Amino acid sequence: MSASRVSLNGRFLFRRHTLIYLPAGGERKSYPKEIVVEGSWRLDVRRRLVYDIARSQNAVFGKSLFFEGRIEDVSGDRCEFVVLHRTTPALRRITRITLAGKWSVDPALRLRFQIRGERGRGVLVWTGRWKMAAGNTLTFTYRREQARRRRTETVRIRGRWKLRGGGIRYALTHGERSALEYSFAGDWPLRAGGKSVLKMKVSGVRPGRSRRREQFVWSGTWRIERSLLKFEWRDSRGHRREWIFSLQKRIGRGKFICRLRLPRQKPVSVGLKWEIPVAGRGSLFLRGVWGNEKRIEGGVSFPW
SS3 label, residue 27: helix
State the pLDDT confidence band at 304, using cuts at 50, 70 and 90: very low
Show Cβ contacts of residue 142 under 8 Å, excluding neighbours closer than 6 positions.
47, 111, 126, 127, 128, 129, 152, 153, 155
Predicted confidence at residue 171, as pLDDT, reads 92
Pairing of strands 188-191, 274-277: parallel
Torsion angle of the four alpha carbons 126, 132, 133, 137, in this order, in degrees rounded to the nearest 10: 80
Task: Give me the amino acid identity at 209.
Answer: R
State the pLDDT confidence band at 209, using cuts at 50, 70 and 90: confident
For 17-76, what is each residue's pLDDT tens digit?
A: 788 888 876 666 777 788 888 889 999 999 999 999 888 876 677 788 888 889 988 888
CB 132, CB 164: distance < 8 Å: no
Torsions phi, psi of 136, nearest 5?
A: 50, 40
More confident residue, 3 or 264: 264
CB 85, CB 70: distance < 8 Å: no
State the pLDDT confidence band at 167, using cuts at 50, 70 and 90: confident
H helices, E strands: number in the chain: 1, 27
pTM of the entire predicted model: 0.77
Torsions phi, psi of 30, nearest 5?
A: -100, -25
Least confident of 7-21, 174-188, 274-288: 274-288
